[in-house]
Amino acid sequence: MSVSKKEFSLEVEHLEEVKKLIRKIISKKDIDITEYKKSIVNSKRFLWEQKNEMYDKDLYAAMDEEDFNVSILNKDIVKVYKLHRSLECPYFSRIDFFSNDEVESFYIGLTGVDRDYEPVVYDWRASVANLYYNYGLGKAHFETPEGRVNGEVVLRRQFDIKMGEMKSIFDATSGIRDEYLESVLSENTSEAMKNIVGTIQREQNDVIRYPINKNLVVEGTSGSGKTSVALHRIAYILYNNKELSNKNVLVFSPSEEFSAYISNVLPELGEDNVPSATFRDLVEKTLGVASFSLQEEAMSFYEGKSVDVKSAQHKLSLAYKREIDDYLDSLYDRLKFTKKFGLKTSFISSARLNEIKDSIPRSLGFADRIERLSEKICAEFRIDEVKNARKLEKFIRKNLGISEDPLKLYEDFSGNHFDKIPYPDTVAMMYLHFEVNGYPDYSNIREVVIDEAQDYVPWQFELFRKIFRSASYTILGDKNQVINPYHRYTSLEDIAKIFEGEYLILNKAYRSSKEIVLFANDLIKENSVEAVRSESGNRVVEKQTSSIADIEEETKRLVEKGYNKIGIIVKTKSEKEKFDFLNHDNVSVSLVYEAKGLEYDACIVYTDKENYYRENEIGLLYIAVTRALHEVVIYNQIK
């Protein structure tokens, strides 16, 4: 519901006051930063000149203090950057809350703004913002350090502010739906994913604000905003845990293209981007070998190339893991001390050495057993474990003939030679290498986000837990968007059990029009997905053609309708090559595997007539169709 002219005018006045305050804060901080920079430079110069006259402990203490001062300076610089950004849209909501016989207005925005230590605009991650995200008009509460504050929401107002100018105001009664949400969702898409702080829904807010340091698995339908929600959760965690920085977070995404697409969200939220990687990046970094990606494997499978499905499924299974465990047990059992072991004037008999070896619990991993054995031998000799245990480990490994080279180690186990590691072998190779040579130290990683979780097998998740032992996990996926041809989940709750975490569902689709959502539901034979957007008037159209000119004409029609981004989504490389000439600024030709996670205003979903999506490939068609916001045209899909 729009507001009266008088209310609109009052809100415009308030907006100008807030902008004036922000400019004042920026101006003061600019002066402070300039002076602070001078002070730091002078202090560093003094330390340089006096370093030979100072005791080492005093010099180090002074250097630590300077590092601290630089960190404070950097925080001020970041704050000024955020304030400059906030001038474009200082806030997006106002909540009037009645409590203790008075009404207080809370303005909520991307960045908090204070006047004399009193909030004028609350950061969207502050507890009070839950009044906006979780409640309509009526009884509500929020948490403070002093305890819960109960009351009643008497006004929920949403603002559309662009470039510092008030465009429109909506008063809503029951959540962020109504006119404001519809207007945002009906907009065309952009080149990069955008933040959604102004339209976060209650179920999404539950994911974002789920307790930090807890494992969470989210199963979200296509267009439910799960990836965006995960990024907002990162921003929420960084805001509420000051011990963490962006370097303590790692995001696993399906592709480099997808990582680039989401790279704008955290900076928009006022946070530095966090490191991101694909699973192949992890394989190649930790093992130092070239490997094939899941996308390449899926492409080979669905293009009908020769693939040993049973072998691939077995290599990605926990049964194969048990084969490796048995292999490592046999390696350890093969270790027999046949001679006494001497160090200077001390000796341990071979019988005692074998007794020590057999006393190590078999429940430990291979590397842990070798390490424990070395430590016990050091203890027997009463020598320093720190200095000598590692040397003993190397001696034992050498006598067992175990290679530290991951490739040779896996080739010895599998009996095969590899120039480039096939995707089905990557998990086993990593596991064998780490079990034998020890797991890498990623203790600095405290939060791991894994997107497109449906394409990872359970063994991969067990491996993640061993590699990133200090981390909490936020894991997101959709069982209907799987491209992994060797494993399918009936529910991602199975993953939650691996991580002993909470399992939440997002079943509302915000991206696509109602027509597209209903068509997609029919494809996967589900009706649990709720379309939030209203009908666009564009039904999903199915056509037949072998003519490149027809696709060119269809693309031209969509461009002329004013769509910003149009996707031509195909199934095979040959089909992609056929339409590569259509690639330009707002038209993108991509394989269905490459389009995962991306979105377009309109999509042309094309296959050659003889290459239509079969029954076991409907998930790929579902992925392609649900990339579109407003319009889909499907070519050559035979029913």
Confidence at residue 227, expressed as pLDDT on a 0 to 100 scale:
92
Structure tokens of 604?
Answer: 């042309």
pLDDT tens figures, 282-306: 999 999 999 999 999 999 998 888 8
pLDDT at residue 547, rounded to an integer: 95
| Better-scored residue on pLDDT, 629 or 256 | 629
Least confident of 120-124, 295-299, 390-394: 390-394
Q: How is the chain split among helix, strand and coil, in percent rounded to 5?
A: 50, 20, 30
DSSP H helices, 360-457, are 366-381, 385-400, 406-414, 423-437
Q: Which of 573, 638, 637 is nearest to 606 (CA)?
A: 637
The whole-number pLDDT of residue 462 equals: 97
pLDDT of the residue at 57: 73
Which long-range contacts link 207-213 to residues 24+ away (Cβ below 8 Å)?
Answer: 207/233, 207/504, 207/506, 208/232, 208/233, 208/236, 209/130, 209/233, 209/236, 210/474, 210/502, 210/504, 212/236, 212/237, 212/240, 212/241, 212/472, 213/472
In this predicted structure, what is the pLDDT of residue 176?
54
Mean pLDDT computed over 43-47: 75
Residue 541 β-bridge partners: 633
Q: Distance between CA 532 and CA 518 in Å, rounded?
A: 11
Quick one: average pLDDT of 491-498? 97
**Which range among 30-34, 233-237, 289-293 shows the weakest confidence by mean pLDDT?**
30-34
Band the pLDDT of 458: cuts 50, 70, 90: very high
**Residue in this structure with the two tokens 């995404």, named with its chain if needed:** 253
Category of 288 on φ-ψ map: left (φ > 0), alpha (ψ -120 to 50) or beta: left
Question: What pLDDT does 18 receive?
Answer: 97
Higher pLDDT, 337 or 298: 298
State how far the Cα of 7 lies from the Cα of 5, in Å rounded to an integer. 6
**Per-residue pLDDT at 192 exceeds 70:** no
Q: Are 579 and 568 in contact (CB under 8 A)?
A: yes
Closest CA to 521 of 513, 30, 215: 513
Q: How far apart are CA 81 and CA 1, in angstroms?
A: 34
User: Could you tell me which residue, 236 or 33, shows the higher pLDDT?
Assistant: 236
Q: Which amino acid is at 169?
A: I
As a whole number of Å, the CA-based R_g of the chain is 30
Domain boundaries, the chain: 5-87, 336-401, 514-635
Instruction: Tell me the percentage of the chain whose pLDDT exceeds 90.
Output: 64
Unique residue bearing structure tokens 């950061």? 123
Alpha-carbon distances of 267 from 177, 202, 231, 255, 581, rounded to whole Å: 26, 23, 11, 20, 34
Residue 410 · residue 417 · CB < 8 Å = no
Which residues partner with 568 through β-bridges? 589, 604
Please state the length of the chain. 639
Give pLDDT tens digits for 526-554: 888 888 888 777 889 999 999 999 999 99
Q: Domain 514-635's class?
A: alpha beta
